[in-house]
Amino acid sequence: MEEQNNQLFEIIRCLVVDVDVTCLLITATFLKKSKFEVLTVKSAKDALGVLRGSGLSFDLVVTEVHMPEMNGFQLQQEIAKEFIIPVAFLSADEKESTIMKGLESGVILFMGKPISQNNINYLWNYATVGKKNHKGKHVINQQNQDKTNERLIPHEVIHIESSSSNSERDKSVRKCEETESEQSSSPPSKKSRVVWTDPLHDKFVEVVSKLGMKKAHPRKILDLMDTPELTRIHVASHLQVYYS
DNA sequence: GCTTTAATAT
DNA sequence: CATATTAAAG
């Protein structure tokens, strides 16, 4: 008896996060057709709630980037801190800046809406691999649909052209990709500087204006922002640059 | 001391 | 240029 059936009994459970119910439905439907088990939530907060309290283990999170309260970036950050679950972005805007930010924060894939078969394949592969890494088996279910992924994410170095009159040497900017987990790979080397992304800056502005320019001091701003990655120094630095 | 902030450095 | 770091005040 040969086991022609290479279909594993793995259930790839996927959590889809989006404020737009229509998008949720479309995405969920698509994923379900591709044999994902899908659960949908309409906010990052709900997503975290499900991850933490549902008792279910998820193999993948697909989230929209732009969301009220907590956006995709923040959600990804939170997830990375507590779980080892790959996060993919699914967003209407495919601005390079957005994509870059996502990749830098460890997002596995950036997809444009609507979700497509290409993306599905990638997701499936990623989730499957991620799941099997606990076992020793090397069985990857490949539903090969070889389309050249034009939108595949480059692991390229971010190079910003600086047109200085000074002749600079080659700067080899190595970008270290780190999968945030409890792995004792390189915790001490967290030498990254804070990037004031648009969502982050928005929150900053929001808090500052809520406090009023009079009382908008770094300490209070920091507290109200409730963003663990930030320190008072960061806020202070940003504050004095943003408000002259 | 701890926080803010101007100035300076990367 | 955007952030970080320093150091002087408050």
> Which CATH number goes with the domain that contains A23?
3.40.50.2300
Nucleotide C2 C1' to residue A166 CA (A) = 19
Give Cβ neighbours of residue A98 (< 8 Å, ≥ 6 apart): A65, A89, A91, A110
How far is A125 from A214, CA to CA, in rounded Å? 52
- Considering the domain architecture, whether residues A146 and A49 belong to the same structural domain is answered as yes
Nucleotide C9 C1' to residue A233 CA (A) = 17
Residue range A80-89, pLDDT digits in tens: 889 888 898 8
Domain boundary among A163, A183, A214: A163
A105 compared with A175, residue with greater pLDDT: A105
Domain boundary among A163, A197, A215: A163
**Per CA to C1' distance, which residue is closest to B5?**
A240
Helix A72-82 and helix A44-53: axis angle, to 10°? 20
- Considering the domain architecture, whether residues A199 and A230 belong to the same structural domain is answered as yes
- Considering the domain architecture, whether residues A45 and A149 belong to the same structural domain is answered as yes
Nucleotide B3 C1' to residue A49 CA (A) = 36
Q: How confident is the model at residue A135 (pLDDT cuts 50, 70, 90)?
A: very low
Catalogue the E-assigned strands of A30-154.
36-41, 60-63, 87-91, 109-112
Q: Among residues of chain A, what percentage have pLDDT more than 90? A: 11
Nucleotide B5 C1' to residue A177 CA (A) = 35
Note the strand B nucleotides within 7 A of protein beta carbons: 3-7
State the average pLDDT for chain A: 70
Q: Identify the domain containing residue A110 by its residue range.
A: 2-163
A20 compared with A156, residue with greater pLDDT: A20
Q: Which nucleotide is nearest to A242 (CA to C1')?
A: C2
- Considering the domain architecture, whether residues A33 and A131 belong to the same structural domain is answered as yes
- Considering the domain architecture, whether residues A216 and A232 belong to the same structural domain is answered as yes
Note the strand C nucleotides within 7 A of protein beta carbons: 2-6
Q: Which nucleotide is nearest to A160 (CA to C1')?
A: C1
Concatenate the DSSP letters of all residues of A121-184 into one string.
HHHHHHHHHHHHTTSS-------------TTPPP-PPP------SS-PPP---PPPP---SS-S
Q: Which of A14-18, A167-171, A202-206 has the highest mean pLDDT?
A: A14-18
Q: What is the CATH number of the domain that holds A193?
A: 1.10.10.60
Q: How confident is the model at residue A188 (pLDDT cuts 50, 70, 90)?
A: low
Provide the β-strand partners of residue A40: A16
**Residue A151 pLDDT more than 60?**
no
- Considering the domain architecture, whether residues A68 and A111 belong to the same structural domain is answered as yes
**Per CA to C1' distance, which residue is closest to B2?**
A219
- What is the residue whose two structure tokens read 């990655």? A229
Q: How confident is the model at residue A38 (pLDDT cuts 50, 70, 90)?
A: very high
- Considering the domain architecture, whether residues A152 and A181 belong to the same structural domain is answered as no
Nucleotide C3 C1' to residue A241 CA (A) = 9
In this structure, of A12-21, A176-185, A202-211, A215-224, the range with the lowest mean pLDDT score is A176-185
The per-residue pLDDT for A92 is: 73
Domain count, chain A: 2
The per-residue pLDDT for A197 is: 77
CA distances from A76 to A69, A71, A86, A106, A244 (A): 14, 9, 9, 8, 32
Domain boundary among A117, A143, A163: A163
- Considering the domain architecture, whether residues A149 and A188 belong to the same structural domain is answered as no
**Residue A114 pLDDT more than 70?**
yes
How far is A60 from A63, CA to CA, in rounded Å? 10
pTM score, two decimals? 0.49
Asked whether residue A241's C-beta has any atom of DNA/RNA strand C within 7 A, the reply is yes
